[in-house]
A and B are shown apart, each in its own frame.
Chain A
Amino acid sequence: MRVLVVEDEADLADAVARGLRREGYAVDVAYDGDEALDKAAVNAYDLVCLDLNLPGIDGIEVVRRIRANGDAEPPRVLMLTARDRTADRVIGLDEGADDYLVKPFDFDELKARVRALLRRDAGRSGALLQVGDIELDSARHEARRVGQPLALTPKEFALLHYFMSRAGQVLSQEDLLEHVWDEHADPFTNTVRVTVMTLRRKLADAGERQPIETVVGRGYRLREEP
C-alpha cells in the first residue's frame, strides 16, 4: 500500500514516514502543498496523510484538487490537524477527507486509522484478511498459511497484503511497483520480480500449492481458491 505524507514540519513528516515504512507501507513525503499535488499527480497513492495547515497551497485545497482529479481509485485522505475546532474538521471532511486525527496523536492510533482507511478499499471490516488458506493480520503484522506463521520481510508482507486485498485480480509489475514500493524504488531493476519470487517461495514452503500464479505477459494473480 502506498502512502503520501504531507506535512510542513519536517521532523514530524519524517517520523511518520519512518513509522509507516516499518509497517510495510511504501511512503513518500511532501513538505508543502505544491509538492504534494505534484506527487499525487504522478503516483497512484492509496492513502494521503495530510496536514491541513501548509505553507502555500493549504491542506483543504490539496484535498479538493486530489478529489477533482477524478481518478478511478482516488486515495483515501487522513487529515492531520493541530486545530481542534469542530469547524475546521467539518470543512476538511466536507471537502473529501475520509478521517481526521488531531495533533499530537498516538502513533498507534495513526497506524490503526491508516489500516482502517485502507480496509475500506477491500470492503472489509476487520484487520484480518483471509484468502484460501492464507491469513493476514495487518494490525499484528502477522501472516499465516494453514495456521503456520510465515517469516516475511516488511516488503514481502506489504506485497502479500496488496495481493490479498486484490485477490483474483491480475496485477502487473507496474501496479505492484506503484502501490508497494515508494518513489525511491528504481523501476529499471527487477526488485518486484525478486520480491515476488521470495514471497512465493515462502508461501510454497508452508502449503501445498503455489497460490500466486504468473499470468504470462500480464503479471501475477493470487488465486482465490487454493
Chain B
Amino acid sequence: MNTLERLWDRLPEWTRSIRFRYTLLYSAVLFGLAAVVLAAIYLILLMALRATPVSSGRGTFCMHGDCITVITFREAERLVNSEILGKLRYYSLGALGVLFVSSLGVGWVVAGRVLAPVGRITSVARDIQATDMSRRIQLPGPEDELKQLADTFDAMLARLDAAFDAQRQFVADASHELRNPLAIIRTNVDVALADPDASPDDLRQAIAVVKRAGDRMTLLVDDLLALARRQEPTLEHEPVDLGAAVAEASDDFMVPAETRDIVLDRAIAPGVAVTGDREALKRVVANLLDNAVRLAPAGSRIRLATGSEGNRAWIAVADEGPGISPDDQAHVFDRFWRADKARARADGGTGLGLAIVRQIVEGHGGEVRLHSKVGVGSSFVVWLPITRPAIDGGQR
C-alpha cells in the first residue's frame, strides 16, 4: 500500500486527473471488448475448421525429372484453412493495436468534452475566492447532472452573497452608529482641553456631554452584542413558563411607567409553556415595553397580555402612543431604523430594540406582528409555538 502510494505520488500531475483515468478506463473497456470478440471469432473458426499446416509430402510424383509433391484434396483444404486462420490472427492483432491507440485518443477527447463544465465551475469557484461573491457560473446547456451541480452552486453563492451583504451592512451600520457618539466625545474633549480659560462650568458641561455619549455607546454596544450573539445558534432550549417570564420582565417597567404617569395593565394567562431561552424571551418583552414606555404620552395606558390559541402562545403589548404610519411599518424591525431620528436618539433608543425582538422570536420559530394606526396607538403581538398546555415540571 505504502509503496503504491509512493508510486502514485511520483506520477506526473496530469496522470492524476479524472480525465486521464477516464481515458484509461474507456480505452481498456473498448480494447477488452474488441479483444474478446476477436478471440471468440478466432476460436470458433479454429474449432469449426480443420486446419493443418503443410505436412511432409505424402508422396512424390516425378515425370521427366520434375517432381511435385502430391497431397490429397482434403489435405489441401486444411492447408488453406490454416493459412486463413494465420492471416486472421495477424490482422486481428494489428487491428487491436490500432484500436488501442485510437481509443486512447478518442477517450482523451471525449473525457475532455464531458469534463469541460467541471473546469468552468472550478475556475469560477477559484475566482470567487480571489475577487467577489457576485459572480455566478451560469452554465449553459441542457438540464443535466453538471448543470444541476452548477445551478446548485449558484444558488449557494446567492445565499452566501446575501449573508455576507447583510453582515457587511451590519458592520457598516454598527460602525456608523458608534462613530457618532465617539465623535461627540472626542470633539468635546478636544475643544475643552484646547481652551486654556475654560471655566469649571464649561468643563462640567463638557463632561456631562461626554457622559451622555458614553451612556449611549454602552447601550448600543450591549444591544449590538445581543444581536451578534443571537446570530449564533446558541439559544437555550428549555421549557419556559411564559407567564412567569413576562411578569418578571415587566416588573422592571412598573416604576418607569409610573414616573411617566403611564398605567401598565397586565393580563397574564398562567400555565402557558414554550420551549426556548428564558432570558431571550424576557428581553423581547423588555424591548417592547421599553419602546412603549418611552414613546407613549403621559397619562396613557399600556396593556401587556399573554395567552394561547391552539398550539401557539402569544404576548401582546399595546400602547396609546403616536402610532406608526403604514409606510414606516415595513421598516420598524430594521436595524437602526427610527421613526424620528433626532428625537429617538435624544430619548436614548439605540434603534436596535425591535430588530432584536424579531431575531429572538424568529429564533424560537415564532413571528412578531405589528398593528398600528397613527394617532391611536400601536400593538405588537408575538406568536410562539407552544410545547405543552401546562407546566408539569418534567423535562423532556
Contacts and interface: CB of A to CB of B under 8 A. Distances in A.
Contact of B190 (A84, A85, A103, A108): A108
Contacts of A85: 172
Given A8-B342, A19-B194, A55-B340, A104 B175 contact: no
Given A11-B212, A19-B194, A22-B194, A82 B187 contact: no
B188 interface: yes
B179 A82 contact: yes
Contacts of B182: 103-104
Contacts of B340: 55
The residue among B191, B206, B342 with the most chain A CB atoms within 10 A of its own CB is B191
A7 to B, nearest CB: 9
Contacts of A8: 341-342
A109 to B, nearest CB: 10
Range, interface on chain B:
20 to 34
A93 B7 CA distance: 64
A82 B183 contact: yes
A55 B341 contact: yes
A96 B187 CA distance: 25
Given A11-B209, A82-B180, A83-B172, A16 B187 contact: yes
A53 interface: yes
Contacts of A31: 342
A9 B190 contact: no
A151 to B, nearest CB: 15
Interface string A81-123: 0111100000000000000001111111010000000000000
Contact of A9 (B172, B195, B345): B345
B133 interface: no
A135 B195 CA distance: 24
A15 B187 contact: yes
B191 A18 contact: yes
Given A9-B184, A11-B184, A104 B179 contact: yes
Scoring A8, A11, A18, A19 by chain B CB atoms within 10 A of each residue's CB, the highest score goes to A11
A12 B190 contact: no
Given A11-B188, A19-B194, A55-B341, A104 B172 contact: no
Contacts of A104: 179, 182-183, 185-187
A105 B179 CA distance: 10
Contacts of B194: 19, 22, 107
Contacts of B190: 19, 106-108
Nearest to B178: A82
A195 B83 CA distance: 132
A107 B206 CA distance: 15
Contacts of A178: none
A214 B340 CA distance: 52
Interface string B174-205: 01110110111111101100110000000000
B370 interface: no
Contacts of B176: 53, 82-83
Nearest to A103: B183
B195 A12 contact: no
A18 B206 CA distance: 11
B342 A107 contact: no
A32 interface: yes
A116 B318 CA distance: 55
Contacts of A55: 340-342
A110 B188 CA distance: 13
Contacts of A82: 175-177, 179-180, 183
B213 interface: yes
A84 B175 contact: yes
Interface string A25-51: 000000110000000000000000000
Contacts of B177: 82
Nearest to A84: B175
Nearest to A55: B341
A78 to B, nearest CB: 14
Contact of A19 (B179, B185, B187, B212): B187
B206 to A, nearest CB: 8
A84 B194 CA distance: 27
Given A82-B179, A83-B172, A103-B179, A15 B341 contact: no
Nearest to B213: A11
Contacts of A83: 172, 176
Interface string A172-195: 000000000000000000000000
Nearest to A106: B190
Given A55-B342, A82-B175, A104-B182, 17 more contacts: A8-B341, A8-B342, A9-B183, A9-B184, A12-B183, A12-B184, A16-B191, A32-B342, A53-B176, A55-B340, A82-B176, A83-B172, A84-B175, A103-B180, A103-B183, A104-B187, A107-B194
Interface of B: 172, 175-177, 179-180, 182-188, 190-191, 194-195, 206, 209, 212-213, 340-342, 345
Interface of A: 8-9, 11-12, 15-16, 18-19, 22, 31-32, 53, 55, 80, 82-85, 102-108, 110
21 contacts: A8-B341, A11-B184, A11-B209, A11-B213, A12-B183, A12-B187, A15-B206, A19-B190, A31-B342, A53-B176, A80-B183, A82-B175, A82-B179, A83-B172, A85-B172, A103-B180, A104-B179, A104-B182, A104-B183, A105-B186, A110-B187
8 closest A-B pairs by CB: A107-B190, A103-B183, A104-B183, A19-B191, A82-B179, A104-B182, A55-B341, A104-B186
